[in-house]
């Protein structure tokens, strides 16, 4: 599968723990996005990278959230001191021009 891949697919954690998700975009896609999707809702934008530069962050991205794309290829999203409200599907997408291709997401459950 040469599409966007995300790891892990599922993560269960206890409140207060830190979690990190990884996204591998489609090769040569210079743009990478993180979205959050809660049950019954559409994806909500979190942050965007062009190459290694993080160019925009949503107000949804509190200071407990940090994202990196150190070499302009894969990206990581870390959530510190998780809260139950962080439970959601975290989707990654990549693009070269207009069309965004999504990964299957990481489903986070905070107990």
Per-residue contact track with other proteins, 78 to 107, x per CB under 8 A?
Answer: -------------x---x--xxxxxxxx--
Categorise residue 99: left if φ over 0, alpha if ψ from -120 to 50, beta otherwise: beta
Among 8, 12, 15, 56, binds other proteins (CB under 8 A): 56
Per-residue contact track with other proteins, 8 to 47, x per CB under 8 A?
Answer: -----------------------x-x------xxxxxx--
* Strand ranges in the chain using DSSP code E only, listed in sequence order: 5-7, 10-13, 19-24, 31-37, 44-50, 53-57, 65-68, 75-79, 88-95, 101-102, 106-110
User: What is the contact surface with other proteins in residues (CB under 8 A)?
Assistant: 3-4, 31, 33, 40-45, 48, 50, 55-56, 91, 95, 98-105
């Amino acid at each position: 599968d040469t599409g966007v891949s995300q790891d892990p697919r599922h993560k269960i954690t206890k409140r207060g723990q830190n979690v990190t998700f990884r996204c591998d975009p489609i090769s040569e896609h210079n743009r990478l996005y993180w979205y959050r999707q809660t049950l019954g809702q559409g994806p909500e934008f979190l942050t965007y990278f062009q190459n290694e530069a993080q160019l925009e962050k949503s107000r949804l991205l509190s200071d407990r959230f940090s994202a990196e794309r150190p070499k302009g290829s894969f990206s990581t999203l870390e959530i510190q001191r998780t809260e139950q409200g962080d439970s959601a599907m975290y989707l990654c997408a990549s693009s070269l021009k207009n069309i965004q291709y999504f990964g299957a997401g990481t489903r986070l459950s905070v107990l």
